[in-house]
Copies of this chain bind each other. A is one copy, B any other.
Amino acid sequence: MSGNAGRGGPQRRVRPTIEDVAAEAGVSRGTVSRVLNGGVNVSPTALAAVNNAIKHTGYVVNHHARSLVTQRSQSIAFILSEPQEKFFEDPNFPILLRGCTQALAEHDMPLLLSIAGGAEDRGRVLRFIAAGHIDGALLVSTHAGNPVVDQLSELGVPAVACGTPLGHEHELAYVSINEAEGARQATAHLIGIGRRRIATLTGPMDTPGGRDRLTGYRDALASARLPQDADLVAHGDYTQFSGEAAMAELLERRPDLDAVFVASDLMAVGAMAALSRAGRAVPRDVAVVGFDDSPSALAARPQLTTVRQPWPRISREMVRLLLARLDGQEPEPVILPTELVVRASA
């Protein structure tokens, strides 16, 4: 009931406690707690009095005190395993991050950001989880043999992965897109507009995206009875530079190619740079299809035909699965369809 007026330093005001509210409302702590947690078995009179007192005192529940007794923190971590650079340069990362933040905000859960790069970082993340900061985790890039996954399940912390978690498909809930089908559609589109010498530029072969998109490309060729040619396949790592280099390599091997399916928009932008340097016009000489529908697809000239990843749905589903797991359920993995967005490049 008394002010405190911080003098000097960061003045930390004494926040009202549940006790203060109880006194103000003329009830006991227990009753206030009951109102705070759904208000069952509380008389209308008491409820009104408590709500009034809360407004009056500006009371906000103390997160740590509550978490200490309930054993849940009501917070979720967004965990990046593996080299950080990768994520921070990946245009999909901010989009996914935003989607997850929004979806969690709807459940009034804050998002903790945690990045595990080297082994040292990993220890930090582990301690951080064990300390009880979080109830669950959203995982990005869970490649085969990822130690964080094991540690999470050892600690009993539910997790949901983005993309198929190679080697952990059975222990982990996950949300993925139908990579192969997206790639197949993209390649089929190139076939449909009359291209026959269609190359592909893949992602890393140890990621599901890299592998499955190559499979989809091959399926499309097979369906159309087009020959498979190893010279038409080059590998990149999703970055623009790797796309530029790999495209140059492809042009050297098969100067006659008339289309290319590229496993990421960023690589596609690099590929278009290589094509333009080689004097090939897009889409006239070489048609290009990308993957992701990231902002750079729209920014590219010509604008990129690409396979859209449904990021808003992906992040919503990830959060949904995680909350289900927190609720003790064992939800099935979710595989979302992609959509081919046809623009100028093909």
Those 7 A-B pairs whose CB atoms lie nearest each other, nearest first: A9-B328, A60-B130, A63-B131, A64-B67, A64-B68, A88-B94, A64-B64
Docked pose: A133 CA to B67 CA in angstroms:
11
20 more A-B contacts (CB under 8 A) besides A15-B132, A97-B113, A273-B301? A9-B328, A10-B157, A10-B325, A10-B326, A10-B328, A15-B130, A58-B130, A60-B130, A64-B65, A64-B67, A84-B98, A88-B98, A89-B295, A93-B94, A98-B115, A101-B115, A105-B115, A110-B128, A113-B113, A276-B301
Which residues on A are within 8 Å of B, measured CB to CB?
A: 6, 8-13, 15, 58, 60-65, 67-68, 71, 73, 75, 78, 84, 87-89, 93-95, 97-98, 101-102, 105, 108, 110-115, 121, 124, 127-128, 130-133, 155-158, 240, 269-270, 273, 276, 295, 299, 301, 325-326, 328
Number of copies: 2
Q: What is the bound-complex CA distance between A8 and B155, given in angstroms?
A: 15
**Given A63-B133, A133-B63, are A114 and B110 also a contact pair (CB < 8 Å)?**
yes
Cα-based distance from A11 to B301 in the complex (angstroms): 52
Is A155 a contact partner of B10 (Cβ separation < 8 A)?
Answer: no
CA A9 to CA B63, docked complex, whole Å: 25
Q: Could you tell me the distance between the alpha carbons of A95 and B87 in the complex, rounded to whole angstroms? A: 10
Which listed residue (B13, B94, B97, B121) contacts A155, Cβ 8 A?
B13
CB contacts (< 8 Å) of A60 on chain B: these are: 127, 130-131
Task: Determine the residue in chain B with the shortest Cβ distance to A115.
Answer: B101
Q: How far is the CA of A133 from the CA of B133 in the complex (A)?
A: 10
